[in-house]
């Protein structure tokens, strides 16, 4: 039972307002076929939209079964359209991409009816109306008359007590017109059917009651009902409509395959970029941490004393480097490292040598305190065996040295010889010495900026130097002076002591030494720790930091473009489906379900891109790392790990968040843009 009291509806027309309906009062019965007659543009459709609660009146009250429509919630209005009031349109408004039967089935599914019941009911109804032959035809190939029959079945399958039909035969020939009107007439025996037409002939032939709309008012009501017969609106509950949402989304996915593929590809590339950057961010730090220990020089350094000295008559100062006083150094190191003299005056740190008797260009020679590689250094060994004991017979070389030769360098002989002159208390002495080493092993070091290097035993060289007697000086001083004691006893500013002490420490103490190095740099003791390996790590870290900073704009670009792609596809997908959404709305679908259909499609594409990006990024980042390792000899530079930054499943979480947040925002944009435009406009039959 529908009662309209003094209803008015106006629309904006340019700057002014136009009242389409004004002061309309009428009561519609609960049964019968009521015709609304009027010229085009007289407001017939508007009246139906008010009754179906698709639009709100600007004046007056509509009561349906005793309840004021204005007081109903949006959900109650949707329920009203789903359970109580069916719509039939001039141009049918079926979902064209599915079969005729699916249109009928979906009409139930959107209210949460389970799919088996819905299918059974649809089959029964199709049989009853002798339309089984249309069941599995795609809707777009049906004739107008067939479409309208299906549209009527889509409505009556829900047994609504009201049907609103807006020019239901307007697009049909006479034969079909007759069939459709018969269907509606039949239905109106137990229910109310309100139909709009400007066709006088059919109005006269079928209707029980005629309402004529003219100039915004009802000009003629053939049987005015004075009293309403109240009938409470039945409370019916909807079921779960998620099945319908998924079904429709699946259909959209197929229909929009090209747009979705484009969106998929764009998002995939962006996500892939994000993951590779993530791989670089997380693994480059780990790589530095790991790689910096991969050097036999990591646990040695040299310490000197740098003092500022003023130059007489000049504003400039001079930095003079000396060997520190042993006691000062001992105190500063506080037991963290072993202090040794620097013997490089006798064993040059950079020297030419002969390999298998052939003269070669200079390479670096460095003493190490443990040539036997007892501790974890052994894992760095690529080939060969480290010497069993401290010995001057064997040396180790790094890979960069081994790479100078085409054949394996193991067990080949290196010779260096030198002749030095020394002077003490005006007594001159000279020493000729030569060493013969066999290469015992090749170590794999962090190769960044690394140069070919030969490692020999510090202890063995000390023993050797102590056997090299300085004849003249010994004779003059009346005691045995050898090369070793010359270095150890020399003054701080003597080149024999290289102006520095060497220090050797354990790997555990390396971080403490590094801290001390920075502290001493800032302090005023003048002590300065120099470490080749710390320096290399420092420059490598700086380079990585610079590279990381360069990546940030690209990362932002990837994020922005992925977001833009999602927004764009979501917007264009919404636009192309607005009519479909309007039909759903008229059929009483929940507005949140309709929003979810739009969202689900976007989330689906986004998640699919995310999963594919993850599936690609893990193996490809590994491949990338291997390629980089081959080129720059740094392993695991871009390895994406499942627990990057020590957070379990970090890359998966990041991609999951983006692939949910982007479509969530993207889908909200069209809803926001169109929030003020009524969907009803989409359904107007022009
Ligand atoms: P008809 O009797 O042909 O169904 P309608 O109810 O569709 O007429 O429209 C009545 C008048 O209201 C028309 O002049 C139409 O242009 C106007 N109108 C309908 N809907 C809107 C709207 N959403 N915005 C502005 N004007 C509208
Ligand atoms: Mg109309």
**pLDDT exceeds cutoff 80 at 348:** no
How many residues would you count in the chain? 686
Q: How far apart are CA 475 and CA 428, in angstroms?
A: 11
Give the three-state DSSP class for 203. helix
**How many whole angstroms from 188 Cα to the centroid of ligand 1?**
27
Question: What is the predicted pLDDT for the residue at 233?
Answer: 60
If you measure from the C-alpha of residue 190 to the centroid of ligand 2, how many angstroms do you get, rounded to a whole number? Answer: 26
pLDDT digits (tens, 9 = 90+) for 123-161: 999 999 999 999 999 999 999 999 999 999 999 999 999
Q: What is the pLDDT of residues 438-463, one digit of tens each?
A: 999 999 988 777 899 999 999 999 99
The answer, yes or no, to whether any atom of ligand 1 lies below 6 A from the CB of 46, is yes
Cβ(103)–Cβ(150) below 8 Å: yes
Reported confidence tier of residue 206, pLDDT bands at 50, 70, 90: very high
Ligand 1 centroid to 48 CA: how many Å?
11
Radius of gyration of the chain (CA): 45
pLDDT of residue 232: 60
Q: Three-state secondary structure along 1-55?
A: CEEEEEEEEEEEECCEEEEEEEEEEEEECCCEEEEEEECCCCCHHHHHHHHCCCC
Residue 368's closest CA among 440, 305, 434? 440
Select from 219, 684, 686 the residue to mutate for testing ligand 1; criterion: most ligand atoms less than 8 Å from CB: 684
For residue 43, report the distance from its CA to the centre of ligand 2, in Å.
Answer: 7
* CA distance linking residue 307 with residue 528, whole number of Å: 10
Residue 222 pLDDT: 56
Q: Output the pLDDT for position 427.
A: 92
Per-residue burial over 505-528, b = 16 or more CB atoms within 10 Å of its CB, e = otherwise: beeebbeebbebbeebeeeeebbb
CA dihedral 553→555→561→563, nearest 10 degrees, is: -120
**pLDDT tier for residue 533 given thresholds of 50, 70 and 90:** confident
Residue 681 CA: distances (Å) to CA of 13, 167, 585, 677: 15, 16, 12, 8
Q: Which ligand 1 atom minimizes the distance to the CA of 44?
A: 2
Both structure tokens of 137: 């035809």
For residue 534, what are the contacts with CB-CB under 8 A and spacing of at least 6?
301, 514, 517
d(CA 420, CA 346): 7
CA distance 137 to 102: 10
Lowest mean pLDDT among 372-386, 410-424, 647-661: 372-386
Beta partners for 455? 366, 396
Which H or E run contains 219?
Answer: strand 217-221
What is the C-alpha separation between 646 and 259, in angstroms, rounded?
Answer: 38
Q: How far is the CA of 187 from the centre of ligand 2 (A)?
A: 22
Distance in Å, CA 216 to ligand 2 centroid? 14
Q: Is the shortest distance between the CB of 684 and ligand 1 below 6 Å?
A: yes
Question: Does the beta carbon of 39 sit less than 6 angstroms from any atom of ligand 1?
Answer: no
Mean pLDDT of the chain: 90
Given a cut of 70, is residue 685 above it in pLDDT? no
Q: Which token pair is 98?
A: 């599915």
Q: What is the pLDDT of residues 584-610, one digit of tens each?
A: 999 999 999 999 999 999 999 999 999
Angle at 452 between CA 449 and CA 457, to 5 degrees: 120
- The C-alpha angle with vertex 487 and arms to 482 and 488, in degrees rounded to 5, equals 100
Torsion of CA 552, 558, 563, 566, to 10 degrees: -170
The answer to whether the CB of 140 falls within 8 A of the CB of 92 is: no
**Cβ–ligand 1 contact at 45 (below 6 Å):** yes
pLDDT attached to residue 457:
93
pLDDT in tens, 354-383: 999 999 999 999 999 888 888 667 788 999
Q: CB-based contacts of 213: which residues, under 8 Å, 6+ apart?
A: 21, 36, 37, 38, 42, 43, 44, 47, 219
Distance 46 CA to ligand 1 centre (A): 6
- 11 ligand 1 Cβ < 6 A: yes
The answer for residues whose C-beta is within 8 angstroms of residue 345's C-beta and 6 or more apart is 420, 487, 495, 496, 497, 498
pLDDT 10s digits, 104-132: 999 999 999 999 999 999 999 999 999 99
Q: Phi, psi (5° rounding) for residue 644? A: -60, 145
In angstroms, the CA 220 to CA 212 distance is 5
What percentage of the chain exceeds 90 in pLDDT? Answer: 67
Distance 41 CA to ligand 1 centre (A): 6
pLDDT confidence of residue 227: 54
What does the pLDDT average to over 509-527? 93
Residue 49 pLDDT greater than 80, yes or no: yes
Distance 216 CA to ligand 1 centre (A): 11
Residue nearest to atom 5 of ligand 1 (CA): 43
Which among 20, 52, 91 is the best mutation to test ligand 1's pocket, defined by most ligand atoms within 8 Å of the CB? 20
Ligand 1 atom 16: residue of nearest CA: 41
Structure tokens at 303: 């310490």
Q: Residues 607-635: pLDDT tens digits?
A: 999 999 999 999 999 999 999 888 877 77
Task: Answer whether 36 contacts ligand 1 (Cβ < 6 A).
Answer: no
44 Cα to the center of ligand 1, angstroms: 8
β-bridge partners, 320: 307
State residue 439's pLDDT score. Answer: 95
In the prediction, which pLDDT does 284 show?
83
| Ligand 1 mutation pick, 43, 54, 90, 211, max ligand atoms within 8 A of CB | 43
Mean pLDDT over 471-485 rounds to 92
Range with the lowest mean pLDDT among 44-58, 368-382, 535-549? 368-382
What burial class does residue 190 get, using C-beta atoms within 10 Å of its C-beta: 0-12 exposed, 13-18 middle, 19+ buried? exposed
| Residue that has been written with the tokens 């759903």 in this structure | 584
According to the model, what pLDDT value does residue 231 have? 61
Q: How far is the CA of 40 from the centre of ligand 2 (A)?
A: 7
For residue 38 and ligand 1, the question of a CB distance below 6 A is answered with yes
Token pair 């049909």 in the structure block, residue: 172
Asked whether residue 168 carries a pLDDT value surpassing 70, the answer given is yes
Q: For residue 24, what pLDDT band results from cuts at 50, 70 and 90?
A: very high
Question: How does pLDDT run across 207-239, given as a tens digit for each residue?
Answer: 999 999 988 888 766 555 555 555 666 667 888
What does the pLDDT look like over 53-102, one tens digit per residue? 999 999 999 998 888 999 999 999 999 999 999 999 999 999 999 999 99
Q: Which residues, in sequence order, are CB contacts of 274 under 8 Å at separation 6+?
A: 555, 558, 559, 562, 613, 654, 655, 658
* 20 Cβ inside 6 Å of ligand 1: yes
Cβ–ligand 1 contact at 570 (below 6 Å): no
How far apart, in whole angstroms, are the C-alpha atoms of residue 564 and residue 566? 5
How far apart are alpha carbons 281 and 368 in whole angstroms? 34
Q: Which atom of ligand 1 is nearest to the CA of 40?
A: 3
pTM listed for this prediction: 0.76
CA 13 to chain CA centroid, nearest Å: 47
302-317 per-residue burial string, b: 16 or more CB within 10 A, e: under 16: bbbbeeeeeeeeeeee
Average pLDDT over residues 410-423: 92
Angle at 322 between CA 321 and CA 327, to 5 degrees: 135
Sequence-distant (6+) residues with CB within 8 A of 3 are 26, 27, 28, 62, 63, 64, 228
- Nearest residue to 265 (alpha-carbon basis) of 651, 613, 659: 613
Report the atom number in ligand 1 closest to the C-alpha of 42.
2
Residue 684 alpha carbon, nearest atom of ligand 1: 7
**501-505/300-310 β-pairing:** antiparallel
> Following DSSP, what letter does each residue of 56-68 receive, concatenated?
--SEEEEEETTEE
């Amino acid at each position: 039972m529908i009662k309209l009291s003094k209803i008015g509806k106006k629309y904006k027309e340019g700057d002014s307002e136009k009242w389409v309906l004004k002061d309309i009062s009428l009561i519609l019965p609960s049964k019968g076929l009521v015709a609304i007659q009027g010229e085009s543009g007289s407001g017939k459709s508007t009246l139906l939209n008010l009754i179906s609660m698709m639009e709100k009146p600007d004046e007056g009250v509509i009561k349906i079964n005793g309840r004021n429509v204005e007081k109903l919630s949006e959900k109650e209005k949707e329920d009203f359209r789903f359970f109580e009031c069916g719509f039939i349109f001039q141009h049918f408004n079926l979902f064209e991409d599915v079969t005729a039967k699916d249109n009928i089935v979906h009409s139930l599914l959107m209210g949460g009816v389970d799919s088996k019941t819905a299918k059974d009911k649809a089959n029964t109804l199709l049989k009853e109306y002798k339309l089984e032959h249309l069941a599995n035809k795609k809707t777009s190939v049906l004739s107008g008359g067939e479409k309208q029959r299906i549209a009527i079945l889509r409505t009556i399958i829900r047994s609504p007590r009201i049907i609103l039909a807006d020019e239901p035969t307007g697009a049909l020939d006479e034969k079909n017109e007759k069939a459709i009107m018969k269907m509606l007439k039949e239905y109106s025996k137990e229910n109310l059917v309100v139909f709009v037409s400007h066709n006088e002939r059919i109005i006269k032939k079928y209707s029980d009651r005629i309402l004529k709309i003219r100039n915004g008012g009802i000009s003629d009501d053939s049987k005015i009902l004075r009293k309403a017969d109240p009938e409470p609106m039945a409370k019916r509950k909807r079921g779960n409509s998620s099945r319908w949402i998924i079904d429709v989304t699946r259909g959209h996915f197929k229909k929009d395959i090209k747009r979705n593929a484009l969106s998929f590809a764009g998002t995939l590339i962006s996500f892939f970029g994000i993951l590779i950057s993530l791989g670089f961010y997380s693994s480059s730090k780990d790589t530095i941490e790991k790689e910096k220990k991969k050097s036999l020089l990591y646990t040695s350094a040299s310490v000197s004393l740098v003092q500022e000295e003023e130059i007489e008559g000049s504003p400039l100062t001079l930095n003079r480097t000396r060997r520190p006083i042993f006691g000062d150094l001992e105190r500063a190191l506080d037991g963290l490292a072993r202090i040794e003299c620097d013997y490089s005056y006798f064993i040059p740190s950079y020297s030419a040598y002969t390999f298998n008797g052939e003269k070669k260009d200079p390479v670096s020679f460095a003493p190490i305190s443990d040539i036997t590689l007892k501790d974890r250094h052994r894992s760095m060994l690529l080939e060969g065996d480290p010497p069993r004991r401290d010995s001057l017979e064997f040396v180790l070389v790094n890979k960069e040295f081994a790479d100078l030769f085409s054949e394996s360098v193991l067990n080949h002989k290196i010779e260096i010889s030198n002749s030095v002159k020394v002077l003490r208390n005006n007594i001159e002495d000279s020493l000729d010495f030569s060493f013969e080493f066999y290469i015992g092993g090749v170590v794999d070091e962090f190769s960044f900026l690394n140069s070919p290097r030969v490692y020999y035993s510090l202890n063995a060289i000390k023993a050797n130097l102590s056997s090299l007697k300085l004849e003249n000086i010994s004779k003059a001083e009346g005691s045995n002076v050898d090369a070793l004691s010359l270095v150890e006893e020399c003054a701080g500013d003597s080149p024999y002591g290289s102006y520095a002490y060497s220090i050797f420490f354990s790997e555990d103490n390396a971080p403490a030494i590094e801290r001390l190095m920075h502290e001493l740099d800032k302090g005023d003791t003048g002590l300065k720790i120099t470490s080749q390996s710390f320096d290399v790590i420092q420059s490598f870290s700086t380079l990585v930091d610079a590279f990381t900073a360069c990546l940030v704009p690209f990362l932002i670009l990837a994020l922005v473009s992925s977001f833009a792609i999602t927004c764009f596809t979501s917007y264009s997908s919404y636009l192309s489906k607005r009519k479909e959404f309007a039909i759903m709305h008229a059929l009483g679908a929940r507005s949140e379900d309709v929003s979810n259909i739009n969202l689900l499609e976007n989330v689906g594409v986004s998640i699919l891109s995310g999963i594919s990006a993850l599936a690609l990024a893990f193996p490809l980042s590994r491949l990338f790392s291997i390629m980089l390792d081959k080129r720059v000899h740094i392993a695991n530079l871009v390895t994406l790990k499942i627990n990057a930054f020590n957070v379990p499943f970090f890359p998966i979480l990041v991609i999951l968040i983006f692939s949910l947040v982007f479509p969530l925002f993207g889908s909200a944009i069209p809803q926001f843009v169109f929030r003020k435009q009524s969907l009803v406009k989409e359904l107007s039959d022009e």
